[in-house]
A and B are shown apart, each in its own frame.
Chain A
Amino acid sequence: MIWIDFKRIMRAGFINFSRASVVSLSSVFIFTITLFVIGSLILLNAVLNYSLEQIKNKVDVNVYFTVNAPEETMLSLQSALEKLPEVNRVEYVSSDTALEDFKERHANDSLIIQALDELGSNPLGASLNIRAKDPSQYESIAKFLEGESNIVKSNSSYISKINYHQNKTVIDRLNKIIAGVRKIGLAVTLVLVIISILITFNTIRLAIYISREEIGIMRLVGAGNHYIRGPFLIEGILYGVISAVITMFIFWPVTVWLGQTTTQFFEGINLFEYYTSYFMQIFGVLLVSGIFLGAFSSFLSVRKYLK
């Protein structure tokens, strides 16, 4: 009995969908716009996160040692730093490496190279390059470096400079920008999603408003509420599924184009690669949103005429 009803409801849903083609087409159109907005927000979020991550990686704090600092002191400081929960990675740059880097950077500047040669010995000290897990944590790392712990205290004479305070304003500003961008991004996402859900909901409401007399007739013929509601739910779900597929098709050329034009700008993230590698996830989100939107709006809209 339930199976027969289910079969009949499915069939009626598909038949209604194909016969009311104008209504179906316009609903699918609106659904596609909504899902496109949702999909764009997913991509935008990916770009935003990736770019912020890249920018964050550019921030670091360096501890410069004096030339005569013994290597084991520096290495023990490195391992002490690595034990801090805020620290992501500590890179030890020996004075030799520092010199090589310096020479490489100034390879075209013969005057500097010449001066360096004349100097004979290596004037550059070793340094530790510290990356925090989050830019907001540099402050506590800097405090550790200037602070109380024994290893820092006993070796403070070897530390020539910690460049946190020079970078502090930049880091602070960056933190504010990142937090701000996240907040604005979230707000924009929410507003756009709410707007598109409302538009979709109203479309379905109109589509079912057109059918209100039919619903009345079905009731007069003695059809039960679930039997009347069923086909409308199926139609709503169909709008969602078809629109999700269409939206994924639209994203194909769009991300190819965006990938070609904006990869440089977004610090190396290629939107097309992102789209292909997360294809199933994005499709899943769109499909679930579409089905949920369609079924839920249909349910609410029909309910009004079933009382």
Chain B
Amino acid sequence: MIYFDKVTKIYGDNSKALDEVSLMVSPGEFVSVVGHSGAGKTTLLKMILAEEYPTSGSIFFESADLRSLKNSEITKFRRRIGAVFQDFKLLPNKTAYETIAFAMEAAGKADDEISADVPHVLELVDLGPKMMNFPHQLSGGERQRVAIARAIINQPDVIIADEPTGNLAPINTYEIVQILKKINDMGTTVILTTHNKGVIDSLGKRVVTMEQGKITRDDKKGKYAI
């Protein structure tokens, strides 16, 4: 489904973020990417979102080379990927309901579909009563749940989660990981980066370990091994 072919990324200041990385992710997989800060995890995810392009090598989503996508195609392509970030990336001026509705509106969904689905997905992440709250009226864990709800609302093929638990208390971390697991059980591919040993060990899924822009380990049922 996602295929990295000898991808190298060198940023403008000559720092090598990725060094000939080859990686294949199959549909329905739950892949955790671990590694120190600066190991290239975030760069890897940004490339899947077509936010960054490889300096050399190519990335394929299904059979499409991401580099060959036009601007309007990238917009459509991104609707097939749900993204969750450490800093939540919520719109400060939109309530939880509006945040999710916005993602559906942007994808061109009809009004009745939006008014039916948004409350449903917010119930799913346990935010039913706080539907009309703005981000600053929500706790960190609640904000991340809004972000996850937004990521899954358009039934994406892939969920990308860049250290989604990095800013959360342990109890919230557990919740978020459970939600991601549930999403994966329903058939959506999940790619997760994390620093959290407990998260990795409790998942018991595929673990890719990165160091200095290279993949050093790739274990089917991995443990946190740095």
Using a CB–CB cutoff of 8 Å, the interface residues on chain A facing chain B are: 1, 4-5, 8, 15-16, 19-20, 213-214, 216-225, 227
Q: Are A222 and B72 in contact (CB under 8 A)?
A: no
Q: Collect the chain B residues with CB atoms within 8 Å of residue A8's CB.
A: 105
Q: Are A220 and B75 in contact (CB under 8 A)?
A: no
Using a CB–CB cutoff of 8 Å, the interface residues on chain B facing chain A are: 49, 51, 71-72, 75-79, 83, 89-93, 102-103, 105-108, 110-111, 150, 154
Q: Collect the chain B residues with CB atoms within 8 Å of residue A224's CB.
A: 72, 75, 106
Interchain nearest-CB distance for B159 vs A (Å): 13
Q: Are B154 and A222 in contact (CB under 8 A)?
A: yes
Q: In the complex where A214-B91, A214-B92 touch, is A221 in contact with B72 (Cβ < 8 A)? A: no
* 4 nearest A-B pairs in the assembled complex, by CB-CB distance: A223-B106, A222-B79, A222-B78, A19-B93
Q: Collect the chain A residues with CB atoms within 8 Å of residue B107's CB.
A: 222
Q: How far is the CA of A4 from the CA of B105 in the complex (A)?
A: 9
Interchain nearest-CB distance for B108 vs A (Å): 7
- CB within 8 A of B76: which of A5, A213, A217, A222? A222
Can you report 25 residue pairs joining A to B where beta carbons are below 8 Å apart? A4-B108, A4-B111, A5-B108, A8-B105, A15-B93, A214-B91, A214-B92, A217-B89, A217-B91, A218-B102, A218-B106, A219-B75, A219-B78, A220-B49, A220-B51, A220-B78, A220-B89, A222-B75, A222-B103, A223-B75, A223-B102, A223-B106, A224-B106, A225-B71, A225-B75
Q: Are B150 and A221 in contact (CB under 8 A)?
A: yes
Q: Collect the chain B residues with CB atoms within 8 Å of residue A19's CB.
A: 93
- CB within 8 A of A221: which of B71, B77, B93, B102? B102
Nearest A-chain residue to B79, judged by Cβ: A222
Q: How far is the CA of A72 from the CA of B79 in the complex (A)?
A: 94
Nearest A-chain residue to B154, judged by Cβ: A222
Q: How far is the CA of A216 from the CA of B46 in the complex (A)?
A: 13
Residue among A19, A222, A223 with max Cβ neighbours from chain B (10 Å): A222
Q: How far is the CA of A220 from the CA of B110 in the complex (A)?
A: 21
Nearest A-chain residue to B71, judged by Cβ: A225
Q: In the complex where A16-B93, A20-B93, A214-B92 touch, is A221 in contact with B49 (Cβ < 8 A)? A: no
Q: Collect the chain A residues with CB atoms within 8 Å of residue B78's CB.
A: 219-222
Interchain nearest-CB distance for B150 vs A (Å): 7
Q: How far is the CA of A219 from the CA of B89 in the complex (A)?
A: 11
Interchain nearest-CB distance for B38 vs A (Å): 22
